[in-house]
Structure 1
Amino acid sequence: MERAGMEQVTIQKSEGAKPRVLALNKSRTRLILGLIIAAGFLDVIDFSIVQVALPTIQTELVVSLAESQWIIGAYGLTLAGFLLLSGRAGDIYGQKKLFVFGIVLFTVASFTGGLAPSLLSLIVSRAIQGVGAAISTATAFAILVTTFPEGKERNRALGIFVSVLSAGFAAGSISGGVLTAAFGWRSVLFVNVPIGTVAAFLSQKFLVSNPGRATDKHLDLLGALSVTSGLILLVYSLTNAATDGFASLYTIVPLSISALVLAGFIAIESRSKSPLMPLGFLRRGTVFTANVLALILTSSAGGVIFLLTIYLQRVSGYSQLAAGLEFVPPALIFFFVGGWGSSWLVNRIGLKLVLVTSMSLITLGSALLTQITVTSGYFGILPGMLLWSFGASIGFPALNIAALAGTRPGEEGLASGIIGTSQRVGFPVGLAILLTIATVTDPPPVGPASQLGSLAGVVTGFQYAFLAATIISAIGLLIALRVKNPRMMFEHPIFS
């Protein structure tokens, strides 16, 4: 249906269903998209911006390398663990309310983290940051779904949103190096405070207040407790696997417990009258396939980006800041190709062909990286890195489109929570697998004369790791070939 002054937004209404797409003028929708992007950008950039500052934090707080890793790990644990719960809670209690609360929580934790006098207080602040990021990220996707109708408009908005977040990783590496060098490590946390404060104020003022859209207002507390604790244990075990290996008790014990807890979650959901995650939802349309591909794509990203960073610093001798700057070309690809190219391609050639193209480029890029040598240098890895980046840049937005396609009123937060969880879990999975493979042939140096041999061992391990990434991506390609283009639902707007 076309209305004067409005974009064309129609809906296939189901019996008794609430309409869900807000009919707002273009300037209002752009502002809402900007606020969502600002909050999401803060969440993503915080991974890499703090990682660059770790050596300085380690020195000032006098902690070991292993201890300092939990500054990153605490954030990742709570972020992955609370995504699904946050998304569903937004469906029940209202997306705007939780979105603003998530930004405020993240901002306050950034401030307390910047003031942290000890490692423990910093880790606690980082864990709280992760909870805030989980709440704002899950509800951000849901707000986007209720603001932009399914089809071209939503595809374009999702493309811009996901590409900016992807570029945030590179931006974090660069800005983290600059801020740490100029103002010290605390500045990488304090920088979030003014941005978060403004974002929270504008969100409260301009986002449309909406009650929870889920028809069932009951929150499955037992399911929430089991899935949150299970996911935290899973990510904890995978984080340990990346440093201690899969054979370590620090990996095996929490991994086994997480498997039992998550199996219990599935059993709870299958019997619950008001499940946190209705199991039938995963069988709808492209939801399950999109989440499997998201797990595969982020598994590749988690290992490949980390290994390339280590290669540039340890083998090629780049500084942390210089290594971060070398990721500017991939970041630009994510921003421009992912932001506009992916949604344009989905609208022109369909979701399936975009996903097949994405996984093909990622597989080819990973295969080129298997040819890495001690003397390859930056320009030796650049072709593979660029191909991989082109593939991933169109893949991430397309996967989010697939994961959100066909969601019903009251399921927006659930869908965004599930795809967000798949992506957050995939990252440590890939890092653990590829890092374990890479370190198999990494011999410890026994003297100055062994340095070249040690580097050769490191690079050989990287070759095997990139081969594993190629195989993982090829599996993703086979799955993408089985994807069916989702049937889009069209929606009547709610005028506000």
Structure 2
Amino acid sequence: MALQVDLPEKDCLLQNYPLRSVLSAPGPSAPSSSLSSPGVIMSFASRPAGASRRLALAVIATSALMAVLDGSIVTVAMPSIQSHLGFSSAGLSWVVNSYQLAFGGLLLLAGRLGDLLGRKRVFLAGMALFVAASAVAGAATSPAMLVAARFGQGVGGAASSAVSLGILVTLFTEPRERAKALGVFAFTGAAGASIGQVLGGVLTDALSWHWIFMINIPIGLATLAAAVKAIPADRGAGLRSGVDVLGALLVTGGLMLAIYTVVGTATAGWTSARTLGLGTLSALLIAGFFGRQATAAAPLMPLRILRSRGVAGGNAVQLLMIAAMFAFQIVVALDMQKVLGYDATRTGLAMLPAAVAIGAVALGVSARLIARFGARTVLVAGLVLLIGALALLLRMPTHAHYVPDLLPTMVLIAGGGLAMPAAAGLGMSGAREQDAGVVSGLFNTTQQIGAAFGAAVLSTLAAGRTAHLLRAGHDPADALSSGYHVAFAIGVALLVAALLVAVFGLRGVGSGSDAPEAAGDADTAEAPRQTTSGLDLAPTA
């Protein structure tokens, strides 16, 4: 899931485009080696049959698709929502920001609750809340009602998203099966971005903006019914094992405040007193959270998980990659509409080849390549393709033609179908099963932070370049195109940084040679390591 930032037209050229549609990467996976450990606190009673597991995968993929659609579909309907409900220009941004504050701020806490209460229980509760809030949003008659409903959607989305991949990797314990399941997840994220842009325009024009929320009701109810049947019950550690209330307050407040600070840079600027003051406060809260985790008897996020190079490196790659892909999914779409004159529907259709390319690679070959060459090697290859895709955009002329100037990028962006499943597997390669929920929440949280960073930095610098050229008397189309090229260049730089982390920071991870430090605890440091098909697995508890 990625962040959407509303950027006023008068202040910035990047307006009303969803970052949750930016290569929404699959969440992390729990290591299969820990599933059979006698020390595991949480485990499924029995491993369901293949048909039931496939149904569970469909349920999880559908919930992810709904989340991605919910981000991209809303932006197309923003003008209709504003005119119908009487939103002010400033207030309209809260249709987006209220969701993102709840979603991004609660992922880590929701993941830990899944470990304590049971992932199925948290998933079902989150889906139910998301559907109920969607019904309220679709029936909204005032700005306050819609903003409150969007906040509720964010809470529900955080709960279901934070634990869904923990459920998936517990069901799919064989490495190649797991890689295929992660490929399905990568495909749903890529496809949902383009489908949402097309579907949002169709629903709004043919029916009304209310239906961009109402469509979640039948899909969500069907998903809930299937989830009750397909997802086996699991037993969490229980609240009696301890809940770090202070840690939860610190990290939730810090993350929400950080997101609120970043989305406000579009109007307040990076050096304003507001940005510096709130940014400092959010940093202090998050620092206090880490200090608390070092001393808490039952920490919300055990710091041992960060001693795994797979977890630390995978999250770093995820953050940089999602930040960089703002330059593709959003800036390319803006170029099509503001410079080339495409409407929303045509833009969505023009982006479909990228979704198809990512899906073909993620579903067709990623699992086999990870099994043969290892997750780290596949991640590196995927990042190289993504760098090439964005580098091609640097040569795109102002009045570009689709086939020679844009289609090659749409093809090379298939590298995301390699990088996303590989990064997800590596990001959880050092986690234990009883920590799968919180590490899943951590992985999704870094995705949110990366999206916020990418949106704020790329949009601000691109808008600054465009404004400078307009003041100098340049043609508006040329000024916009030049600003977009700045975003493309920054995207390339971020992907190069991600590549360096993958090459040097993840050396030995995913190939079976990294040290037993991944588990982090003295009582497990000497346990034998298990590696299968290139996925480095933590020692059993």
* Counterpart residue number, 1:86: 110
CA contact under 8 A between 2:431 and 2:439: conserved in structure 1?
yes
Q: For 1:475, which of 478, 481, 497 is the aligned residue? A: 497
Superposed CA offset, 1:360-392 (max 9, x none): 111122221122321114335424532552122
Which letter does structure 1 place at the counterpart of 2:490? A
Q: CA deviation at 1:19?
A: 7.6
The 5 Å alignment of 1:378-389 reads 378-383=402-407, 385-387=409-411, 389=413
Q: Is the 8 A contact 2:322 2:454 kept in 1?
A: yes
Pair 1:170-2:194 in alignment: yes
**Distance in 2 between the 1:347 and 1:221 partners?**
41
Which range moved further: 341-350 or 182-191?
A: 341-350
Asked if 1:286 corresponds to 2:286, the answer is: no
Distance 1:320 1:369 in 2: 20
Bigger drift between 9-18 and 127-136 goes to 9-18
* Equivalent of 1:267 in 260, 270, 291: 291
Moved more, 435-444 or 242-251: 242-251
Residue 155 (structure 1) shift: 1.3
> Please, which runs of 5 or more residues in structure 2 have no aligned partner?
1-31, 513-529
How many residues get paired? Answer: 481
Q: Deviations over 1:437-476 (max 9, x none)?
A: 10112239989x96x6122111111112211111111111
Structure 1 residues 219 and 10: alpha-carbon distance in aligned structure 2, compared to 1, 3 A threshold: closer
- Rounded Cα–Cα distance in structure 1 between residues aligned with 2:273 and 2:33: 55
Answer yes or no: is 1:375 the counterpart of 2:412.
no
The range that moved more, 390-399 or 339-348, is 339-348
Distance across 2 between alignment mates of 1:225 and 1:178 = 41
- Where do residues 308-387 of structure 1 align in structure 2 (5 Å cutoff)? 308-383=332-407, 385-387=409-411
Aligned to 2:235, the other structure's residue is in SS state coil
- The equivalent of 2:418 in structure 1 is 394
Give, in angstroms, the shift of residue 188 of structure 1.
0.2
CA offsets 1:53-92 (integer angstroms, 9 cap, x no match):
1111122223244322221121122111111111110000
Larger mean Cα displacement after TM superposition, 95-104 or 477-486 = 477-486
- 1:462 equivalenced with 2:473 (yes/no): no
Q: Contact conserved, 1:306 with 1:431, CA < 8 A, in 2?
A: no
Distance in 1 (CA, whole Å) between partners of 2:350 and 2:465 is 26
Q: 2:250 aligns with which of 217, 226, 230?
A: 226
Higher mean alpha-carbon deviation, 362-371 vs 18-27, is at 18-27
Classify 1:381/1:240 alpha carbon distance in 2 versus 1 (closer, same or farther; 3 Å).
farther
Distance 2:395 2:33 in 1: 51
Q: Does structure 1 conserve the Cα–Cα contact (< 8 Å) formed by 2:34 and 2:40? A: no
Of 107, 123, 145, the match for 1:121: 145
The equivalent of 2:9 in structure 1 is: none
Q: Deviations over 1:272-324 (max 9, x none)?
A: 11111111111124111000000001101234322111111111111111111
Give RMSD over aligned pairs: 2.4
Residue 156, structure 1, aligned to residue 159, structure 2: no
Q: What amino acid sits opposite 2:150 in the alignment? A: R
- Is 1:176–1:188's contact at 8 Å kept on the other side of the alignment? yes
Q: After superposition, give the CA deviation of every residue in 1:316-343 in whole Å (9 maximum; x if it has no partner).
A: 1111111111111111122221233222
Query: How far 1:114 sits from its partner (Å)?
Result: 0.7
* Cα distance change, pair 89–446 in 1 and its aligned pair in 2 (3 A): closer
Equivalents in 1 of 2:107, 2:236: separation in Å?
17
- 1:464 maps to a residue whose letter is V
**Deviation for aligned residue 1:184:** 0.8
Matched, 1:453 2:475: yes
Q: 1:23 is paired with a residue of what secondary structure?
A: coil
- C-alpha contact (below 8 Å) 2:393/2:485 kept by paired residues: yes
The structure-2 alpha-carbon separation of the partners of 1:444 and 1:406, relative to structure 1 and needing over 3 Å to count, comes to closer
Determine what percentage of the aligned residue pairs are the same residue.
Answer: 32
Distance 1:221 1:380 in 2: 56
C-alpha distance in structure 1 between counterparts of 2:331 and 2:164, whole Å: 31
CA distance in 2, matches of 1:140, 1:195: 17
How far apart, CA to CA, are the structure 2 residues paired with 1:249 and 1:388? 42
List per-residue Cα deviations over 1:5-54 (Å, max 9, x = no partner): xxxx9878556345846422110110111111111111111000111111
**Kept in 2: contact 1:226–1:262 (CA 8 A):** yes
Secondary structure at 1:101 match in 2: helix
What SS class does the counterpart of residue 374 from structure 1 fall into? coil
Letter in 2 for 1:16: G
> What are the residue-to-residue correspondences of 1:418-429 with 2, within 5 Å?
418-429=442-453
Alignment partners' CA distance in 1, 2:88 and 2:346: 24
CA distance in 2, matches of 1:249, 1:329: 44
Give the alignment's TM-score, normalised by structure 1: 0.91
For residue 39 of structure 2, what is the aligned residue in structure 1?
Answer: 16
Kept in 2, the 8 Å contact 1:298–1:430? The answer is: yes
User: Could you tell me which amino acid in structure 1 is paired with residue 54 of structure 2?
Assistant: R
Cα offsets for 1:110-141 (capped at 9, x unmatched): 00001111122111111110110010011111
Q: Is the 8 A contact 2:358 2:415 kept in 1?
A: no
Please say which of residues 307-316 and 244-253 is displaced more in the overlay.
Answer: 244-253
Letter in 2 for 1:227: V
In 1, distance between residues paired with 2:276 and 2:112?
30
Q: 2:214 aligns with which of 190, 201, 205?
A: 190
Q: Secondary structure at the match of 2:141?
A: coil
Aligned-pair CA distance for 1:407: 2.5
Mean CA deviation greater in 242-251 or 296-305? 242-251
Partner Cα separation in structure 1 for residue 367 and residue 270 of structure 2: 39
Which amino acid in 2 is paired with 1:332? V
